[in-house]
Amino acid sequence: MIKLLLFDLDDTLWPSSYYAEFARRNAVKAMIELGLDFDEDFLYEKLLEVIRDLGSNAPNHFNELLRRLGIKEEAKLIAAGVVAYHNSKIAIRPFPEVPRVLRILKEKGYMLGIVTNGLAVKQWDKIIRNELHHFIDRAIISEEVGYEKPDPRLLEYALNVFDCRPEESVMIGDRERDIKPAKELGMLTVRVKRGKYVNEVVDADYEINNLLELIEILRREDPWRWK
Amino acid sequence: MIKLLLFDLDDTLWPSSYYAEFARRNAVKAMIELGLDFDEDFLYEKLLEVIRDLGSNAPNHFNELLRRLGIKEEAKLIAAGVVAYHNSKIAIRPFPEVPRVLRILKEKGYMLGIVTNGLAVKQWDKIIRNELHHFIDRAIISEEVGYEKPDPRLLEYALNVFDCRPEESVMIGDRERDIKPAKELGMLTVRVKRGKYVNEVVDADYEINNLLELIEILRREDPWRWK
């Protein structure tokens, strides 16, 4: 019998790659609007380069962008980028079927967790903006635990928190780093095929395109609850 | 003849005290919603205490708030506060007459500047959110200049930037620290009576309640432009 469903967050429950591009492009456009006279695509690519080099959780992406363009740090342009970037976050929504599916799963009695790599406040920021906190019981975040996927200890920690055995648990994620450690532990695995890593080779028990299909899988694997 | 109008930013061009309370109360309410079980007014007062002690530009106000409540830093609660605080900024608007007045002043040929104490990116953030950048020619911000109001050198720096003499310039602000140095330099001074410091004793040439009244003052003091 399955008791616990563990979900990856980014690109599994919400289209994080899509919104990242949306927010970064809005930032670049606002900087152009305030006087940064470069081509939008050029600036966007340059910004991605900065993010690659400094890491996505670094502060001061926009300062560094201007520095690389040989522009004396200009508070006006940085503020334009920051405001547009933050305002874009207002538009964040989960994948459209997600709230409905999570509600059904909750009603059926499953425990629901999120297991995600990242900074705790930043991951919770996204959970709250997507209104996922209404459905999940716990979020297990790498920064707080000290292990990152694909290290199986992050999932072990999660199983421990929920007091569940691997064979009572399902891991749902978009990447091999979600699926591989879960398989190693003996969990059932479901790969959602979307987002930035849609072409990654992932060896999961099931592969779906939409979380509504998860319900069909659970009907088959856990018929007791769905009678 | 008057050539230059210098405006203070906070509580002169937009109701900063009002929005600060709005955003902080929204943050506290969101933290309660996510499980912080305290009275809203109690939390709000505690948060003000933290901001007073750490300074309004410190990061981690919410972390410190939880620490003072004896709660182990909880990423979920901090994120709830941060999201609600930032989302509140979307609602920022200038005082309602401001865009109209600034457009008229621009059309009449005045140079318009903002002279404000604070961090450059943070002050520009507010200028942009209030859409004041469409009207002003320059913003002079203490962090970039190295002097703060009431130090007259900040205003001197501004006069220099605009290449204007004091007697060609007007300073418009809500506080004695805006008016006193301007008077010392020989500028015409206009105090706007609103915001948090509405009861401060300010010794200005004119006192107004609304920036529309500034137009009447300029008609009198600078009749040439208004013929």
- Give me the interface pTM, i.e. the ipTM: 0.89
Task: Convert the pLDDT of each residue in A26-39 to its tens digit.
Answer: 999 999 999 999 99
A163 alpha-carbon distance from chain centroid: 24
- Give every CB contact of residue A66 below 8 A, 6+ residues apart in sequence: A36, A72, A73, A74, A77, A78
Contact: B83, A127; criterion CB under 8 Å: no
Nearest one of A90, A1, A73 to A31, comparing CA atoms: A73
pLDDT of residue A57: 87
Contact: B75, A129; criterion CB under 8 Å: no
| Overall average pLDDT of the A50-61 stretch | 93
pLDDT(A73) > 90 = no
pLDDT of residue A174: 97
Task: Convert the pLDDT of each residue in B83-105 to its tens digit.
Answer: 999 999 999 999 999 999 999 99
Return phi, psi of residue B169, to 5°: -130, 150
pLDDT(A51) > 80 = yes
Calpha distance B89→B196 (Å, rounded): 19
For B132, other C-beta atoms within 10 Å of its C-beta total 22
Residue ranges of alpha helices (H) inside B95-201 are 98-107, 120-129, 142-145, 152-161, 176-185
Give the tokens for residue A97: 């079927």
Return phi, psi of residue B172, to 5°: -120, 120
Distances (CA, A) of B162 to A20, A85, B157, B221: 40, 32, 9, 20
Contacts of A78 in chain B (CB under 8 A): 121, 124
Written as tens digits, the pLDDT of chain B (227 aa) is 999 999 999 999 999 999 999 999 999 999 999 999 999 999 999 999 999 999 998 889 999 999 999 998 799 999 999 999 999 999 999 999 999 999 999 999 999 999 999 999 999 999 999 999 999 999 999 999 999 999 999 999 999 999 999 999 999 999 999 999 999 999 999 999 999 999 999 999 999 999 999 999 999 999 999 98
- Interface check for B51 against chain A (CB to CB < 8 A): the answer is no
Q: DSSP readout, A121-142? A: HHHHHHHHHTTGGGT-SEEEEH
Q: Tell me the shortest Cα–Cα distance from B152 to chain A, in angstroms.
A: 23
Q: Considering only residues 112 to 151 of chain A, which have any Cβ-Cβ distance to chain B shorter than 8 Å?
A: 120-125, 127-129, 133, 139, 141, 144
List for chain B the helix, strand, coil content (%; round to 5): 55, 15, 35
Q: Choose, out of A85, A125, A135, the residue to mutate when testing the contact with B (most B CBs < 10 Å).
A: A125
Q: Which chain B residue has the Cα nearest residue A130?
A: B83
Indicate whether this model's pTM tops 0.80. yes
Calpha distance B163→A188 (Å, rounded): 73
Contacts of A129 in chain B (CB under 8 A): 83
Torsion of CA A50, A54, A60, A61, to 10 degrees: 20
Contact: B78, A124; criterion CB under 8 Å: yes
Calpha distance B45→B80 (Å, rounded): 18
